Amino acid sequence: MDNVTHSLTGLALARAGFNRLSPRATLLLLLAANAPDIDILAAPFGALRYFEAHRGYTHSLLFLPIMAAISVLVTYLIYREKPAGRRDAFRAWLLACAGVASHLLLDWTNPYGVRLLLPFSSRWFALDLNNLTDGIFLTALVLAAIWPLFSRLVGGEIGEQRVSKGQGSAIAVLVFFLVLDFGRFLMHARVVAQLSSRLYDGAIPTTVAALPYAINPLHWTGIVETPDSFHSIDVDHLHNAEPQAGAVLYKRPFDPVSDAVRNTPPFHYLQYFSRFPIWSAEPVTLPSGSATRIDLTDLRFGAPGVGSFHCVGLVNTEGRVLLSVFTFGSGANVGRGR
């Protein structure tokens, strides 16, 4: 999830009653709810290094207590104070563990996924319930965050002495999350079952996913893999899926040109990350002569030439790799006119 959502979730946890458990609990939960994204420190080393590090060790269960300890340390450094005792430090650490856990839980619910079991397993876990930036969650969190201010203004106008401190709205938004995701879980299962029960150009699906929209919880993007193709289908939960209405992308057979780039570091990692890898190739003319441009992406986040998370390679007629790069963008203009 985005860091605004993580931060507001930490704030909601604090206001829901966790702020009574430890001094400086609000700041501590805000830091802990964002701590796993410390992997952004890999960004200066290039897009590929950050891509490899993101949602890796700092997002694993093994590192959860370490991320919590760092959050506690930073909080005490900011306030230039020491814990009152071991009990105070331990309670602060437990509180930070809850904040870090909220981050892992939210990241687990979206299609990008998270590697919870590193270093013992590099498996990705993804529930596909919420968008990376979920408009419904974000709106609910913002409303819960500003409710105490609104309550204070209204209370001042009518002379009311008691005003909300945000506990009720914080608890309400956290319960809302649970209810909404339970509903999405049921809808997701129904959409996947529908997609799995269809034939696609006469072929049985081998892999099926239903990806959430950012705003409308009833709409899903279905991705279906068959032995020879991928199908992208817009699905409304209230209606039956229509396989023939979706876009079809046919798999490209591997050849010496693809083999030349597939084991380079960018392509190797994106293949590991991808659940629905789609390859494309086209001839290009370079100042040095003719070459083939190879594009690899994951249909969860785009398609050849559009979306995000792309690897682009150039292979000349002698089979030599001239370029192999990863980009967070569409890669549409990468490798042209070198």
Euclidean distance between CA atoms 337 and 132, whole angstroms: 34
3-state helix, strand, coil in the chain (%, to 5): 45, 20, 35
Distances (CA, A) of 169 to 27, 61, 115: 19, 30, 32
Supply φ then ψ for residue 313, to 5 degrees. Answer: -130, 150
Q: How many C-beta neighbours within 10 Å does residue 227 have?
A: 9
Q: What is the pLDDT along the chain (338 residues), one digit of tens a residue?
A: 899 999 999 999 999 988 888 878 999 999 999 999 999 999 999 999 999 999 999 999 999 999 999 999 999 888 877 766 688 889 999 999 999 999 999 999 999 999 999 999 999 999 999 999 999 999 999 999 998 887 666 555 455 555 457 888 999 999 999 999 999 999 999 999 999 998 898 899 999 999 999 888 889 999 999 999 999 999 887 777 777 778 899 998 888 888 899 999 999 999 999 999 999 999 998 887 889 999 999 999 988 889 999 999 999 988 899 999 999 999 888 877 65
Sheet architecture: strand order including 207-212: 207-212, 219-225, 229-236, 247-250
Closest CA to 329 of 314, 317, 316, 312: 312
Record the pTM.
Answer: 0.90
Query: Residue ranges per domain, the chain?
Result: 3-133, 154-249, 252-327
What is the SS3 string spanning 164-195? CCCHHHHHHHHHHHHHHHHHHHHHHHHHHHHH
